[in-house]
Amino acid sequence: MKIALDCHSLLLDHVLRSYLQDLLCAPENCDFILSDHPIEKPVKTTFLIGSLEGAHVSVPFTRESLLESLQELYAQKTQAQSLESRVQALLGEYTHKLLNLIQEYHS
């Protein structure tokens, strides 16, 4: 799990950097962005942290509760991507078979 931070709160940013130091990376290389504010046109999936309505991780939090929440969110994201890739594979297979059937019909 690779995480990028985008926080307006300097205190929250410092705490998150301390807690997540081994997981942090640049936004281009991350699995998701952890932010204390909604991001317009995010590059990656964004999880909100704080007291905002709809926040994925609420404050206050401990290091353990933060890591548990992030693991759960990451697992949900991975599961959704897995389902999407399986659907894409089935659609590709169906399209291939349909094209073969059409070609056979016109031959």
Q: What is the pLDDT of residues 61-100, one digit of tens each?
A: 899 999 999 999 888 888 877 777 788 878 888 888 888 8
The domain total for the chain is: 1
For the segment 50-71, what is each residue's pLDDT rounded down to a tens digit? 888 888 888 888 999 999 999 9
Asked if residues 19 and 63 have their Cβ atoms less than 8 Å apart, the reply is yes
Query: Which residues are within 8 A (CB) of 56 and not within 5 positions of it... i.e. 6 or more apart?
Result: 47, 48, 49, 69, 73
Residue with the bigger pLDDT between 12 and 43: it is 12
CA dihedral angle for residue 49, residue 55, residue 69, residue 22, rounded to 10 degrees: -20
- Domain residue limits at 91: 3-106
Q: Which pLDDT does position 18 carry in this prediction?
A: 95
34-46: string of b/e by CB count within 10 Å (b at 16+)? bbbeeeeeeebeb
Transcribe 60-75 into DSSP letters.
S--HHHHHHHHHHHHH
Residue with the bigger pLDDT between 83 and 32: it is 32
Q: Which pLDDT does position 20 carry in this prediction?
A: 95
**Region 2-13: what's the mean pLDDT?**
95
From the CA atom positions of the chain, what is the Rg in Å?
20
Q: Which pLDDT does position 64 carry in this prediction?
A: 93
Instruction: Please identify which residue in the block is written with the tokens 């031959």.
Output: 107
